[in-house]
Chains A and B, each alone.
Chain A
Amino acid sequence: GQNIDQPTEMTATEGAIVQINCTYQTSGFNGLFWYQQHAGEAPTFLSYNVLDGLEEKGRFSSFLSRSKGYSYLLLKELQMKDSASYLCAVITPGADSNYQLIWGAGTKLIIKP
């Protein structure tokens, strides 16, 4: 079966660094997304990884290891506004030459002063 695991909830301190992990077991891999979703709002795109390594974008970085079925989102210099849920999603081949997007349940990140 297809499965994506993320921690349910994490807590971190303002100004610190936090790493949110995502592990996946899927029948094939064609890319991985990270989205941010503030409470009561729409998910917004953060990053896309398809090759191994680290992609840096300002305070946020995303890492991928395809051999380990593992990704993480690294948030630096945490701000109160980073309190949100972070969703991991994996693209896998589906039936009939289509693709499917498998989503994790999300990690709720709580930032404390």
Chain B
Amino acid sequence: ETGVTQTPRHLVMGMTNKKSLKCEQHLGHNAMYWYKQSAKKPLELMFVYNFKEQTENNSVPSRFSPECPNSSHLFLHLHTLQPEDSALYLCASSQAVAGLNYEQYFGPGTRLTVT
């Protein structure tokens, strides 16, 4: 138990569906992250939030839409996804973003399958 929870753990959706992934951290951290992890590929950082403000958007397609209502919660809204978006989506948090030299605490991930 890392103090970061994610729901759902597994999700199967069609290309025309709309769904949301939820992440919650109980560590009092100020920074939160969304990552995509595909088999045998490096972790891909998608979005970074620092004190609820988005600081990074690494050229992520608009079919992925993040939302950070407060420092403890992070959502990833999904719509009209493609089969290649099937992957493990990991949420992480850290004490701060500055310098990125704070260890990150990861949630267990959501295994997403797009059919």
Contact = CB atoms under 8 A, between A and B. Distances in A.
Interface in B81-115: 90, 99-101, 103-109
Contacts, number: 53
B61 interface: no
Contact of A91 (B44, B99, B106, B109): B99
Contacts of B55: 98
A42 B4 contact: yes
Given A4-B42, A44-B106, A91-B101, A98 B56 contact: yes
Contacts of A33: 103
B60 to A, nearest CB: 14
Contacts of A89: 43
Contacts of A104: 42
Contact of A99 (B90, B100, B107): B100
Interface size class of A (residues with CB under 8 A): 20 to 34
B29 to A, nearest CB: 13
A8 B40 contact: yes
A78 B40 CA distance: 24
A103 B43 contact: yes
Contacts of A105: 40-42
Interface of B: 2, 4, 40-45, 55-56, 90, 99-101, 103-109
Top 8 nearest A-B pairs (CB, nearest first) are A42-B106, A45-B103, A103-B43, A103-B42, A99-B100, A31-B101, A105-B42, A91-B100
